[in-house]
Structure 1
Amino acid sequence: MCSHQPPCPSADSADHDAARVVASHPEQGWSLLCNGLLVFDDTGELLPDGRVVEPRRPVLV
């Protein structure tokens, strides 16, 4: 999915959050990264294969 140099880390790599943002929707609370990863404001993630990464920080109420 990445066409720039150096290429972004793949969605399976440990540093997958370092990929570039290609679409951002702050009003909805998510961004799409170049590697196909959906990153949510609560730090949760949706991987391209459908796996879910639970948020890594507590949500303040």
Structure 2
Amino acid sequence: MCQHQPPCPSADSADREAAHLVAHHPEQGWSLLCNGVLLFEDTGELLPDGQVIAPRRPLDAERVVTAA
């Protein structure tokens, strides 16, 4: 699938997110890498074999409490 030199990491390698972007759709919250991995803005991933990688950041991490 990947034509880059050196080749991008495969979808099953630990550094799979280092692959080049093929498509980026921030308005929809996802990007496609050349190794077939779908990255989602919540840090979740969908691998080409259908395996789901759960988001790594807590959903409440962006909440900031400010004093009035």
SS at match of 1:36: coil
Higher gyration radius (CA)? 2
Q: Does 1:8 find its partner at 2:8?
A: yes
Q: 1:59: how far off?
A: 1.6
Q: 1:17: how far off?
A: 0.6
Q: CA RMSD in A?
A: 0.9
| Corresponding pairs, count | 61
Q: Which structure is richer in relative contact order (CA contacts within 8 A, separation 6 or more)?
A: 1
TM-score, normalised via structure 2 length: 0.86
2:66 aligns to what? Answer: none
1:35 aligns to what? Answer: 35
Q: Does 1:18 find its partner at 2:18?
A: yes
- Structure 1 stretches of 4+ with a deviation exceeding 3 A read none
Q: 1:58: how far off?
A: 1.0
Give 1 or 2: higher helix fraction: 2
Structure 1: segments with no counterpart, 5+ residues? none
Report % sequence identity: 75
